[in-house]
Structure 1
Amino acid sequence: MSLLARPFPTALTSVALAALTCAFAAPAQADQFVEAADGATIDCVLARGALTRIALVEDGFANVSKMASGFPYNDFEVTHEPVRGDIYVSVPLQYASARVSFFATSSAGHVYKFACRVEGEDASQLFVTNPALAKSEAADWEEGSPSRDDATLRLIEAMANDAVLPGFRARAALSRPRRTGSLEVQQVAEYEGAELTGQAFTLRNLGSEPIDLSSEREAPAGALAFAYGRDALAPGETAQAFLVFAKGGLE
């Protein structure tokens, strides 16, 4: 994704500010964010009849171990994707149990037990962060002493790549979609650090004409940076957008 740092477009300002202050409970199929140490049991929700992607932040899976049910056509499957080190879990509609369990070993040598409920109906994602890895990276981060501008840009890059910076906590945070004209804005995640907070949004063009996102320059008070992946949205298209502001609210 090629991110273009811009002030917040006027058309988005009132919509996004409302989304920042009006959070609603996330549905089961929303992205899940979990912290887990080596040897921990991870409780999560898996989709039935759809794929669930499980990714390790700053690590990757090297091996997966599960017991066969004895009914191969009705058993769940765990597929290892070696390029990124992710795993994909597929639970068939006819799978009898309401729970799934298996073990996974990471490239860094950590072992995790997954004991998950089968409830979701749509494809979903689970992101696992190990605090032991975060501490090591946090030391490198602090040693570099990034300026606030540099930290802001790095936070935007991390959000765009589904990564988490050292010292930040990420969580799914779906808001009610807000609409101004034909543009719909929905908050989907929040990244909280000691000094900065990042908000990730999904933009949707619900109209019949393209929307020029780069035509206006006004930003909400206190916003440090805003970025999006394209200058315009064609009818029916969606795009990501990212807002960063100082911890503790708008200045």
Structure 2
Amino acid sequence: MAYRRKTRAWSLALCASTILAFSGSGAQAADQFKQAADGASIECAVSARELTRFALVDDQFASVSKISTGTPYNDFAVTNEPLRGDIYVSVPETFAARSISFFATTKKGFVYKVSCQVEPVPAVQVFITNPAIATNKAAGWESETPLETSAVRLIQAMANDRTVDGFEVRQSSALPARVGDLEVQLIADYRGSALGGKVIRLANRGRKPLTLAEADLASSRTLAISIAQPTLQSGESTVAFIVGSNGGLGHD
């Protein structure tokens, strides 16, 4: 493992940076996943016959503001669940409008405008994430130790397949790339506040043994690298863990 403030970017680092794209996993049809900043509008669909649950990730609803029609048969209802801080929306069968809207304030002080189409679908769930919350949690985790030490801690977490508080972890479906006899493939991407990490699979596709050097994978923003098995025989593979400043490791 090595700390690096300024390192020479070798050709392999350039190749590795080209395969660091990630893909999001598709949500189940019955559930909706929304990402919103403070004051943003959230568009979704609510069930016309059953309950729709709204849940905040790492936050809770504090209050909901809506216009009342004064006629219960033509108005939707919002119920707060105090234990988890979720809200449930129900629409009566006699509801004439094709959409509903309301403002929601959270316990962490965020406000969202929610606009939903009323659809003939079964009970649904809407999960809302605010990136600012995760970023603040990641920044707190990173600030527990000096940045270079935090980079080592992140490598240890990645090597042990552990989640890191506030970090977004995405599995990659990127195809492997070849650099001579070496095959390089992104496995996972960790994104925090100041730090970003990559888990990369390396395979020797040649006929001769291959020795990997940390400098071959480093870029100018790399802070720490660990290669599980630096020497690969023909057909063998290993995993490398790379940590650098966020935005400096080929993020989209």
Give me the TM-score of the superposition, normalised by structure 1: 0.51
The change in CA–CA distance for 1:113 and 1:51 in structure 2 (over 3 A counts) is: same
RMSD between superposed Cα atoms in Å = 3.3
CA–CA distance in structure 1, aligned partners of residues 84 and 35 of structure 2? 19
Per-residue CA deviation, residues 86-119 of structure 1 (Å, 9 max, x unaligned), is 1111112221111100011000111111011111
Q: Matched residue of 1:132: which SS?
A: helix
| Change in CA separation of 1:24 and 1:63 when aligned onto 2, cut-off 3 Å | closer
Distance in 1, Cα, partners of 2:42 & 2:142 = 29
Q: Deviations over 1:194-241 (max 9, x none)?
A: 547xxxxxxxxxxxxxxxxxxxxxxxxx9xxxxxxxxxxxxxxxxxxx
- 2:112 is matched with 112
Report the Cα distance in structure 1 between the residues aligned to 2:27 and 2:84, rounded to whole angstroms. Answer: 30
Q: How does 1:1-251 map to 2 (within 5 A)?
A: 27=29, 30-143=30-143, 145-146=153-154, 147-148=156-157, 152-154=161-163, 165-168=166-169, 193-194=190-191, 195=198
Q: 1:76 to 1:149 in 2, by over 3 A?
A: same
Aligned residues: 148
Once residues 170 and 59 of structure 2 are traced to their aligned partners in structure 1, the CA distance between those partners, rounded to angstroms, is: 16
Label 1:60 to 1:25 Cα distance change in 2 as closer, same or farther (>3 A): closer
The CA deviation at 1:167 is 2.2
Structure 1 runs not aligned, ≥5 long: 1-22, 156-163, 171-190, 197-221, 223-251
Over 3 Å counting, the alpha-carbon distance change for 1:94 and 1:165 in structure 2 is farther
Between structure 1 and structure 2, the one with the greater Rg is: 2
Cα displacement string for residues 3-39 of structure 1 (whole angstroms, at most 9, x for unaligned residues) = xxxxxxxxxxxxxxxxxxxx98954xx2111111111
Tell me which stretches of 4 or more aligned residues in structure 1 moved more than 6 Å.
Answer: none
Alignment check: 8 A CA contact 1:141 1:166 kept: no
Structure 2: 5+ residue stretches without partners: 1-24, 144-149, 172-187, 192-197, 200-237, 239-252
Distance 1:154 1:109, change over 3 A: same
Match of 2:233 in 1: none
Q: Distance in 2 between matches of 1:34 and 1:151?
A: 30
